[in-house]
Structure 1
Amino acid sequence: MVSVPATDEVALKRRGFTLALLTAAYFFSYMDRQILAILQEDIRRDLLLSDTQLGLLAGFAFAIFYATLGLPVARLADRGNRVNIIAIALALWSGMTAVCGLAQNFVQLLLARIGVGIGEAGSSPPSHSIIADLYPPEKRAGAMGIYSLGVVLGAAGGTMIGGTLAHFYGWRVAMFAVGVPGILLAVLIKLFVVEPRRGLSDPTQSAASHGDMPAFGEGFRSLFANRAAVHLVMGVTITSLIGYGHTAFGPSFMIRSMNLDKLQIASIVAPVGAVAGTLSAVGGGWLANWAAARWGLHTQAWLVLAMKAVGLPLSFLFFASSDPWVGVPIYWVSIILVNSYLGPTFALIQGLAPLRMRALWAAVTLLVINLIGLGLGPTLIGVISDALKPTFGVESLRWAMLTFAAATPWALFHYWRAGVWLKRRGA
Structure 2
Amino acid sequence: MGEAIKPAYGRYVLMALLAVYSINFMDRQIIAVLSPQIKAELGLSDTQLGFLKGTAFALFYATMSIPMAMLGDRTNRVTLISCSLALWSGMTALTGFAGNFLHLFLCRMVVGVGEAGSTPPSHSLLADYFARDKRSTALAIYSLGVPIGTFLGLIVGGWLATHYGWRTTLLVLGIPGVFLGLVVKSTVRDVPRGSADALAAPPPRPDGLATVARQLWSIPTYRTMVLSGALNAFVGYALSMWLVDFYVRAGRASLAEVGIWMAVAFGVGGGIGTFTGGIAADKFGRRNPSSYLVIPGTAMVVAAPLTIAAVLVPGMAWSVACVFIASGLMYMSFGPLYGLVQTLAPVNNRSLAIAFYFLFQSLIGSGLGPLTVGFASDQLSHIVAPDTALTIAIGSLCLPLFIAGLNLILQRNRLQADLARIP
**TM-score using structure 1 length:** 0.95
Other structure's SS at 1:135 match: coil
Which region of structure 1 is more displaced relative to structure 2, 34-43 or 312-321? Answer: 312-321
* 1:37 maps to 2:37: no
Aligned partners of 2:220 and 2:418 also within 8 Å: no
Q: Which residue of 2 aligns with 1:307?
A: 299
Aligned partners of 1:257 and 1:322 also within 8 Å: no
Give the aligned residue type for 2:366: L
Alpha-carbon distance in structure 2 between the residues aligned to 1:335 and 1:258: 23
Q: Which residue of 2 aligns with 1:179?
A: 174
Which region of structure 1 is more displaced relative to structure 2, 358-367 or 241-250? Answer: 241-250
Please show how residues 55-74 of structure 1 align to structure 2 within 5 Å.
Answer: 55-74=50-69
Aligned partners of 1:160 and 1:265 also within 8 Å: no
Q: Structure 2, unaligned stretches of length 5 or more?
A: none
Residue 11 of structure 1 and its aligned partner are, at CA, apart by 6.3
Corresponding residue to 2:75 among 80, 84, 91: 80
**Structure holding more helix per residue:** 1
Residue 86 of structure 1 and its aligned partner are, at CA, apart by 0.2
* 1:168 maps to 2:163: yes
Please show how residues 247-326 of structure 1 align to structure 2 within 5 Å.
Answer: 247-257=240-250, 259-271=252-264, 273-295=266-288, 297-326=289-318
Stretches of 4+ moved more than 6 A in 1?
none
Aligned partners of 2:79 and 2:185 also within 8 Å: yes
Give the aligned residue type for 2:367: G
Please show how residues 19-418 of structure 1 align to structure 2 within 5 Å.
Answer: 19-204=14-199, 207-209=201-203, 211-257=204-250, 259-271=252-264, 273-295=266-288, 297-393=289-385, 394-418=387-411
Root-mean-square deviation over aligned CA pairs: 1.6
Aligned partners of 1:11 and 1:196 also within 8 Å: no
Residue 208 of structure 1 and its aligned partner are, at CA, apart by 4.6
Residue 142 of structure 1 and its aligned partner are, at CA, apart by 0.4
Give the aligned residue type for 1:35: I
Aligned partners of 1:77 and 1:359 also within 8 Å: yes
Identity %: 34
Other structure's SS at 1:66 match: helix
Aligned partners of 2:344 and 2:418 also within 8 Å: no
Alpha-carbon distance in structure 1 between the residues aligned to 2:419 and 2:95: 49
Residue 89 of structure 1 and its aligned partner are, at CA, apart by 0.2
Residue 121 of structure 1 and its aligned partner are, at CA, apart by 0.7
**TM-score using structure 2 length:** 0.95
Residue 258 of structure 1 and its aligned partner are, at CA, apart by 5.2
Alpha-carbon distance in structure 2 between the residues aligned to 1:50 and 1:425: 46
Alpha-carbon distance in structure 2 between the residues aligned to 1:352 and 1:147: 19
Give the aligned residue type for 1:370: S
**Equivalences, count:** 419
Q: Deviations over 1:232-287 (max 9, x none)?
A: 11110111111111111121112123521111122344135422222111111111
Aligned partners of 1:208 and 1:356 also within 8 Å: no
Q: Structure 1, unaligned stretches of length 5 or more?
A: none
Per the alignment, do residues 268 and 369 of structure 1 end up closer, same or farther by CA in structure 2, a change over 3 Å counting?
closer
Aligned partners of 2:238 and 2:366 also within 8 Å: yes
Alpha-carbon distance in structure 1 between the residues aligned to 2:59 and 2:161: 28
Alpha-carbon distance in structure 2 between the residues aligned to 1:257 and 1:224: 44
Aligned partners of 2:29 and 2:153 also within 8 Å: yes
Aligned partners of 2:54 and 2:367 also within 8 Å: yes
Give the aligned residue type for 2:345: A
Per the alignment, do residues 124 and 11 of structure 1 end up closer, same or farther by CA in structure 2, a change over 3 Å counting?
farther
Other structure's SS at 1:232 match: helix
Residue 158 of structure 1 and its aligned partner are, at CA, apart by 0.7
Alpha-carbon distance in structure 2 between the residues aligned to 1:329 and 1:391: 30
Other structure's SS at 1:283 match: helix
Give the aligned residue type for 1:58: K
Alpha-carbon distance in structure 2 between the residues aligned to 1:238 and 1:182: 30
Residue 330 of structure 1 and its aligned partner are, at CA, apart by 2.3
Give the aligned residue type for 1:294: R
Q: Which residue of 2 aligns with 1:419?
A: 412
Alpha-carbon distance in structure 2 between the residues aligned to 1:317 and 1:328: 10
Alpha-carbon distance in structure 1 between the residues aligned to 2:327 and 2:105: 30
Per the alignment, do residues 11 and 371 of structure 1 end up closer, same or farther by CA in structure 2, a change over 3 Å counting?
farther
Aligned partners of 1:11 and 1:134 also within 8 Å: no
Aligned partners of 2:308 and 2:396 also within 8 Å: no
